[in-house]
Chain A
């Protein structure tokens, strides 16, 4: 996953390639929306390590401190 190219990832149940979609995340009684890759059929959200430990961790820290 190092190249930030996630085109080779597919949803295992639907076997479809992933498409970007705006998803709302909830944490600490607040919500935050971000565009992430999802399965176009079942809506499963794909979160790579770079996102989880990057932007998401940043936002979590901010929200925790509120």
Chain B
């Protein structure tokens, strides 16, 4: 992917962008930074912000209409907007250091005449003087300020003007009236801001004529070195001061290139103005000055503290993963995700690895983002890109890719009702339970399938939806699998696919949009007579009123959500609603291997969201929660009279369950039992304690891995013996891990496991060999 494509994913993100008040402010003052620093009493710093943006801070503070208030977000919760007039006044009052900055740059040769010493002319003159152009301000009056001279604070305004001009060289010619433009021919450029009133001079008439050719974009005229501005052109005083930087830049570009040029406006486009929700913010009344005139320092700090400091951080606040990585902002994540795909070890390193592989791929960030950014797209880029340059940590997804192979290439099967095969008719419905439902308890699949067959002729396809490949970033494997699934669907003559897992359904809807899908739960809810409710209320199998835990993919699946609630009602089960919906249980993305600390944090947060037992409708949620000791049931447990003695979270038993289901179907099809290909080590008899079993489950070590290790080690001699304890320690190097097993041989082909462990780094092979 190109860099622009990656950055485009987060293009609309406005975290760090100027807030709505800055948009409305003619000067685009950084009001957020202003209030943040004012709240801390940093008056000198805030004065600098004011002076740098407002140019003549005293003048602007007094005459600005405070358009910012119209876009202050405080009123969204019913409060008054922040009082910037009083706050700016406080800054002017309490800042001690107001010395303007002197720029040490070499003087320029070009000269500019500014006609009119009102605020419009003066602000442009100041800017060009700071850039070291030879500026002369000419005014027919004896003092500056033009029409502002009548203001009650005119004296303070002139002081402000003098202060700002005190560090630049700018010539002032008062009491001089320009008769004609010809008189200004010695200047390289002329800026006329002579005000709204007209004089009866040739100059006035010349300017009037030039006004007809006034170019609003460039403030230019048909006379190429004459620029106009201020009230002469109908701009307000405030707008004139605000535009002075832009005008000065245009004049400078003319002096440098002979053509007026201006920069493209990027930051303050209307589509980048966003209001935020401000949920949970407390109402606070506007601070009023005790003396009725101006704020004390404390009052000013209090009023500044009322500022929300508007800055969208919805995803960073809500996603545990983003928070655990210091809330790195989306724009930075995009840059780093791209950079990581171009890393060349050992010369350079990735910066975003752990974060990329810690994503639950639940799309929760998108659901809370005001502009619908899906950060998992960035992490996908990271994963896919790294696989392309072979820098991905294989150990992170190795087990799950094996698991996917098992479900899609060994335990896969498709079965059609027998009577249909005879009549060669098509099926309308194909049940796709997904791989994990049957692994957890074969009853979930077989009883659901039986129920579906009673409504209509339904086939069943045992397979995986491809999520493990997607989560591993294995794009080629995933794309190939989508083709496989599409072929299965086409060969079955395009039936509607009934899904038991909302994540499977999400993948189908996104990557195989032609396939029509329906939720198993909707169908069961619509056919309540098919439910097998236990004689004593299914509620009795729960210790308390349960809460419904919606899986992450359910946020796009309102049908399933509603159906599960309807099923509870049908089974007369009262239920609670959880507050934070749509977050992953922790299983998503298979991120546990990459980040087990975060996994534990997320799962613990989920199960403690409510003390009530959970009803879930995703096998992964059930497994994850059960492993953490949380009481939970699948909705199917409560409505299809499931025998929960078949429930397991054990890795080996899960695979056996898939074979059990496949076998029941192969028998139906007259092919007898399905027998897995036998490995030489299958016949080994292994005993181990619960602790070891738990460890194996957590670390994704299968019993067959243990058997293979012992068997191969005994053949190859990769064993150590302990003369004291009588135990043996065998190891076996698999492609991405090395498995170690300590055991005691209790008989021929019989082993008792003491413990097992593994590591990922391989000893380099010596030429002496091992």
Asked if B100 lies at the interface with its beta carbon under 8 angstroms from chain A, I say no
Distance in angstroms from B296 CB to nearest chain A CB is 51
| Chain B residues with CB under 8 A of A35 | none
Q: Sample 27 A-B pairs with CB under 8 A, ordered by A number.
A: A9-B720, A9-B729, A10-B722, A10-B723, A13-B717, A13-B719, A18-B720, A25-B762, A25-B764, A26-B763, A30-B346, A45-B770, A46-B720, A49-B740, A49-B742, A52-B759, A53-B759, A56-B759, A56-B760, A56-B761, A59-B761, A60-B760, A64-B353, A64-B393, A65-B353, A66-B350, A66-B353
Residues B345 and A30 in contact, CB atoms below 8 Å apart: yes
Mark A32-47 against chain B: 1 for CB-CB distance below 8 A, else 0. Answer: 1000000000111111
Asked if A19 lies at the interface with its beta carbon under 8 angstroms from chain B, I say no
Asked if A8 lies at the interface with its beta carbon under 8 angstroms from chain B, I say yes
**Considering the chains assembled together, what is the distance between the CA atoms of A25 and B705 in angstroms?**
23
Q: Which 5 A-B pairs have the closest CB atoms?
A: A27-B761, A12-B719, A8-B724, A13-B717, A66-B349
User: B595-616: which residues lie under 8 A (CB-CB) from chain A?
Assistant: none
Residues B721 and A49 in contact, CB atoms below 8 Å apart: no
Most A CB atoms within 10 A — which of B353, B720, B742? B720
| Chain B residues with CB under 8 A of A57 | 759
**Considering the chains assembled together, what is the distance between the CA atoms of A45 and B354 in angstroms?**
29
Residues B345 and A11 in contact, CB atoms below 8 Å apart: no
| Chain A residues with CB under 8 A of B393 | 28, 64
Asked if B755 lies at the interface with its beta carbon under 8 angstroms from chain A, I say yes
* 6 further contact pairs, Cβ within 8 A, besides A18-B720, A64-B395: A8-B723, A9-B729, A28-B391, A44-B720, A45-B770, A64-B396
Asked if B768 lies at the interface with its beta carbon under 8 angstroms from chain A, I say yes
Knowing A25-B763, A64-B393 are in contact, say whether A9-B719 is a contact too (CB < 8 A). Answer: no
**Considering the chains assembled together, what is the distance between the CA atoms of A58 and B338 in angstroms?**
27
**Considering the chains assembled together, what is the distance between the CA atoms of A26 and B758 in angstroms?**
15
Using CB atoms, name the residue of chain B closest to A28. Answer: B393
Residues A9 and B764 in contact, CB atoms below 8 Å apart: no
Distance in angstroms from B578 CB to nearest chain A CB is 33
**Considering the chains assembled together, what is the distance between the CA atoms of A31 and B350 in angstroms?**
16
**Considering the chains assembled together, what is the distance between the CA atoms of A58 and B94 in angstroms?**
54
**Considering the chains assembled together, what is the distance between the CA atoms of A4 and B724 in angstroms?**
14
Q: Report which of B346, B729, B763 forms a contact with A24, defined as CB distance below 8 A.
A: B763
User: B734-751: which residues lie under 8 A (CB-CB) from chain A?
Assistant: 738, 740, 742
**Considering the chains assembled together, what is the distance between the CA atoms of A6 and B396 in angstroms?**
31
**Considering the chains assembled together, what is the distance between the CA atoms of A66 and B720 in angstroms?**
34
Using CB atoms, name the residue of chain A closest to B767. Answer: A43
User: B159-196: which residues lie under 8 A (CB-CB) from chain A?
Assistant: none
Interface size for chain A: under 10, 10 to 19, 20 to 34, or 35 or more residues?
35 or more
Residues A64 and B740 in contact, CB atoms below 8 Å apart: no
Asked if B757 lies at the interface with its beta carbon under 8 angstroms from chain A, I say yes
Asked if B265 lies at the interface with its beta carbon under 8 angstroms from chain A, I say no
Using CB atoms, name the residue of chain A closest to B756. Answer: A49
Asked if B367 lies at the interface with its beta carbon under 8 angstroms from chain A, I say no
Residues B354 and A64 in contact, CB atoms below 8 Å apart: yes
Most A CB atoms within 10 A — which of B391, B594, B718, B768? B718
| Chain B residues with CB under 8 A of A46 | 720, 729
| Chain B residues with CB under 8 A of A31 | 764
Asked if B766 lies at the interface with its beta carbon under 8 angstroms from chain A, I say yes
**Considering the chains assembled together, what is the distance between the CA atoms of A56 and B760 in angstroms?**
8
Asked if B728 lies at the interface with its beta carbon under 8 angstroms from chain A, I say yes
Residues B740 and A52 in contact, CB atoms below 8 Å apart: yes
Residues B768 and A43 in contact, CB atoms below 8 Å apart: yes
Residues B763 and A23 in contact, CB atoms below 8 Å apart: yes
Residues A8 and B725 in contact, CB atoms below 8 Å apart: yes
| Chain A residues with CB under 8 A of B78 | none
Asked if B731 lies at the interface with its beta carbon under 8 angstroms from chain A, I say yes
Residues B731 and A47 in contact, CB atoms below 8 Å apart: yes
Distance in angstroms from A57 CB to nearest chain B CB is 7
| Chain A residues with CB under 8 A of B761 | 25-27, 32, 56, 59-60, 63
Which positions in B face A, CB cutoff 8 Å? 345-346, 349-350, 353-354, 391, 393, 395-396, 594, 717-725, 728-729, 731, 738, 740, 742, 755, 757-764, 766, 768-770
| Chain B residues with CB under 8 A of A27 | 760-762
| Chain B residues with CB under 8 A of A52 | 740, 757-759
| Chain A residues with CB under 8 A of B724 | 8
**Considering the chains assembled together, what is the distance between the CA atoms of A51 and B426 in angstroms?**
60
| Chain B residues with CB under 8 A of A24 | 763-764
Distance in angstroms from A26 CB to nearest chain B CB is 5
Residues B346 and A42 in contact, CB atoms below 8 Å apart: no
Knowing A42-B770, A49-B740, A66-B350 are in contact, say whether A8-B722 is a contact too (CB < 8 A). Answer: yes
Using CB atoms, name the residue of chain B closest to A42. Answer: B770
**Considering the chains assembled together, what is the distance between the CA atoms of A4 and B497 in angstroms?**
57
**Considering the chains assembled together, what is the distance between the CA atoms of A42 and B766 in angstroms?**
10
Distance in angstroms from A52 CB to nearest chain B CB is 4
Distance in angstroms from A56 CB to nearest chain B CB is 5
| Chain A residues with CB under 8 A of B728 | 12
Distance in angstroms from B673 CB to nearest chain A CB is 39
**Considering the chains assembled together, what is the distance between the CA atoms of A24 and B764 in angstroms?**
6
Q: Report which of B391, B764, B770 forms a contact with A44, defined as CB distance below 8 A.
A: B770
Q: Report which of A11, A26, A59 forms a contact with B764, defined as CB distance below 8 A.
A: A26
Most B CB atoms within 10 A — which of A25, A52, A64? A64
Residues B766 and A9 in contact, CB atoms below 8 Å apart: no
Residues A23 and B718 in contact, CB atoms below 8 Å apart: no
Knowing A26-B764, A60-B761 are in contact, say whether A10-B345 is a contact too (CB < 8 A). Answer: no
| Chain A residues with CB under 8 A of B757 | 49, 52-53
Using CB atoms, name the residue of chain A closest to B728. Answer: A12
| Chain A residues with CB under 8 A of B755 | 49
**Considering the chains assembled together, what is the distance between the CA atoms of A47 and B742 in angstroms?**
12
Residues B766 and A43 in contact, CB atoms below 8 Å apart: yes
Q: Report which of A11, A29, A60, A64 forms a contact with B346, defined as CB distance below 8 A.
A: A29
Using CB atoms, name the residue of chain A closest to B357. Answer: A64
| Chain B residues with CB under 8 A of A10 | 720-723
**Considering the chains assembled together, what is the distance between the CA atoms of A24 and B381 in angstroms?**
33
Distance in angstroms from A7 CB to nearest chain B CB is 9
| Chain A residues with CB under 8 A of B391 | 28-29
**Considering the chains assembled together, what is the distance between the CA atoms of A23 and B738 in angstroms?**
16
| Chain A residues with CB under 8 A of B766 | 43
**Considering the chains assembled together, what is the distance between the CA atoms of A3 and B442 in angstroms?**
45
Distance in angstroms from A49 CB to nearest chain B CB is 5
Residues A65 and B346 in contact, CB atoms below 8 Å apart: no
**Considering the chains assembled together, what is the distance between the CA atoms of A49 and B739 in angstroms?**
11
Knowing A8-B723, A31-B764, A53-B757 are in contact, say whether A44-B346 is a contact too (CB < 8 A). Answer: no
**Considering the chains assembled together, what is the distance between the CA atoms of A46 and B349 in angstroms?**
31
**Considering the chains assembled together, what is the distance between the CA atoms of A1 and B741 in angstroms?**
13
Residues B718 and A44 in contact, CB atoms below 8 Å apart: yes
**Considering the chains assembled together, what is the distance between the CA atoms of A8 and B718 in angstroms?**
17
| Chain A residues with CB under 8 A of B346 | 29-30
| Chain B residues with CB under 8 A of A56 | 759-761
**Considering the chains assembled together, what is the distance between the CA atoms of A23 and B768 in angstroms?**
13
Residues A43 and B769 in contact, CB atoms below 8 Å apart: yes
Distance in angstroms from B300 CB to nearest chain A CB is 46
**Considering the chains assembled together, what is the distance between the CA atoms of A62 and B723 in angstroms?**
36
Residues A9 and B758 in contact, CB atoms below 8 Å apart: no
Most A CB atoms within 10 A — which of B349, B760, B766? B760
| Chain B residues with CB under 8 A of A49 | 740, 742, 755, 757
